[in-house]
Amino acid sequence: MLGPVVHVVGARPNFVKAAPVVAALIAEGRPQSVVHTGQHYDERMSHVFFRELGLPRPDVDLGVGSGSHAQQTAALLTALEKELPARAPALVVAYGDVNSTLAAALVAAKLGLPVAHVEAGLRSFDMAMPEEVNRRVTDQLADLLFVTSPEAIGHLANEGVDPDRVHFVGNPMIDTLMKHLPRFDARAVRTAHGLPERYAVVTLHRPANVDTPASAATAVRALREAAGQVELAIPLHPRGRAALEAAGLSDVAGVRILDPLGYVEFMGLLRGAAAVITDSGGVQEETTVLGVPCLTLRPNTERPVTVTHGTNRLVSAETLGPALRQALDDGTAARTAEGPPLWDGRSGARIARVITRWLERHG
């Protein structure tokens, strides 16, 4: 009998992407298991997503935790090398671009297990980002590559990936958004946190923005200017909390610092926002679909479709202030009538269909 499809997840964005794929494979009656690496482990960075998104409880949590890149990746490799063969997977599925993604692909490839990569082919062309390293290596190792937007197909072709392995399926993170949209209650979130009617949401966690005292000070300077224009609600990722607070974020007037939020509450906050300032990958996509103006505090993006669509704009600490003023003056984000192609809530089903056919041929 064919072994299970084994989903390897570990960090917050993985959970949001895996949920529709797991659900669609359940609908196809495919045996599967969920391996949580434990890269993220706080209640608000991990468990809440399983409860809210209807993801099956992980069959195992490897408890890998935090560390330097080498320490964390080594722990992931060691733990997965033990765990994956014990499950005799027909296919390993890895998501996104985090260290757990890279480790799952590397271990599977070395063990001769087939591996699928969901959200393949995104490129920032910025090798200073750990995610870009993870994406490139994972894509070289994957047998099945599921892409969310058409330009990814070209990136993979340029890197010599066999086009027969590549499947354009749309964006499973947007499946999750569409499924839960009726639960995103902006007014309830605003009331719960005592926010005014008009507010902006900020999420920052990229090493380039929060890891050093100098970068945190630059970010706080930019946010101080932004908070002069509109109240800022900032659900703080644990990575940058200490550095941003040391740089004085809590003392900035008009800033509301929050703990990381569960998915439904976070998306309610996003839905009601006048604008969003972020360095998150997922948030650039979610604001695209919600039609909320997004200012991305980064020099590049691996998600250019969010910019061409009209909702997202790259900004620096210097250009954030004027860009925010413009976004607030314009009201809703100027966007093209059609959403990005295949961001239609059916990506999980497409992925499940491709996987099922592939298993029939290779099982």
Residue numbers at the binding site for ligand UD1 (CB under 6 A):
11-13, 39-42, 45, 66, 72, 97-99, 130-131, 205, 237-239
Site size with ligand UDP, rule: CB under 6 A: 16
Tell the smallest beta-carbon distance from residue 67 to ligand UDP (Å). 18
Within 10 Å of residue 208's Cβ, how many Cβ atoms?
17
Within 10 Å of residue 214's Cβ, how many Cβ atoms?
10
| Residues in a beta bridge with 147 | 120, 168
Tell the smallest beta-carbon distance from residue 262 to ligand UDP (Å). 6
Catalytic residue check, 155: no
Q: How far apart are CA 228 and CA 104, in angstroms?
A: 44
Find the part of the chain contacting ligand UDP (CB under 6 A) among 30-38, 179-187, 258-266, 316-324: 258-266
Which C-beta is closer to ligand UDP: that of 121 or that of 281? Answer: 281
Q: How far apart are CA 24 and CA 3, in angstroms?
A: 17
Find the part of the chain contacting ligand UDP (CB under 6 A) among 25-33, 240-248, 281-289, 294-302: 281-289
Q: What are the two backbone dihedrals, phi and then psi, of residue 290, each rounded to the nearest 5 degrees?
A: -80, -15
- For residue 232, give Cα distances in angstroms to 200, 253, 277, 294, 312: 5, 9, 9, 14, 18
Question: Which does residue 358 bind out of ligand UDP, ligand UD1, none, counting CB within 5 to 8 angstroms by kind?
Answer: none
Q: How far apart are CA 194 and CA 256, in angstroms?
A: 9
Q: Is 203 in the site for ligand UDP (CB under 6 A)?
A: yes
Q: How far apart are CA 248 and CA 213, in angstroms?
A: 11
Which C-beta is closer to ligand UD1: that of 278 or that of 347? Answer: 278
Tell me how long the chain is: 363
Angle subtended at Cα 312 by Cα 201 and Cα 227, rounded to the nearest 5 degrees: 30
Q: Which residues, numbered 99-128, are part of the site for ligand UDP (CB under 6 A)?
A: none
Q: Is 266 in the site for ligand UDP (CB under 6 A)?
A: yes
Q: Which of 36, 205, 237, 309 is catalytic?
A: 205
Which C-beta is closer to ligand UD1: that of 167 or that of 205? Answer: 205
Tell the smallest beta-carbon distance from residue 254 to ligand UD1 (Å). 25
Angle subtended at Cα 46 by Cα 169 and Cα 77, rounded to the nearest 5 degrees: 75
Find the part of the chain contacting ligand UDP (CB under 6 A) among 150-158, 159-167, 188-196, 279-287: 279-287
Q: Which residues, numbered 9-68, are part of the site for ligand UDP (CB under 6 A)?
A: 12-13, 16
Long-range pairs, 44-52, Cβ under 8 A, ≥24: 44/259, 44/260, 44/261, 44/262, 45/11, 45/12, 45/238, 45/260, 46/12, 46/15, 48/262, 48/263, 49/12, 49/15, 49/16, 49/19, 49/262, 49/263, 50/15, 52/180, 52/262, 52/263, 52/264
What distance separates the 2 farthest-apart alpha carbons in the chain? 63
Tell the smallest beta-carbon distance from residue 147 to ligand UDP (Å). 16
Which C-beta is closer to ligand UDP: that of 10 or that of 235? Answer: 235
Tell the smallest beta-carbon distance from residue 180 to ligand UDP (Å). 10
Question: Which does residue 99 bind out of ligand UD1, ligand UDP, none, counting CB within 5 to 8 angstroms by kind?
Answer: ligand UD1
Which C-beta is closer to ligand UD1: that of 31 or that of 238? Answer: 238
Which C-beta is closer to ligand UDP: that of 115 or that of 177? Answer: 177
Question: Known catalytic residues?
Answer: 205
Instruction: Provide the binding-site residues for ligand UDP, judged by CB under 6 A.
Output: 12-13, 16, 203, 205, 235, 237, 260-261, 263, 266, 280-283, 286
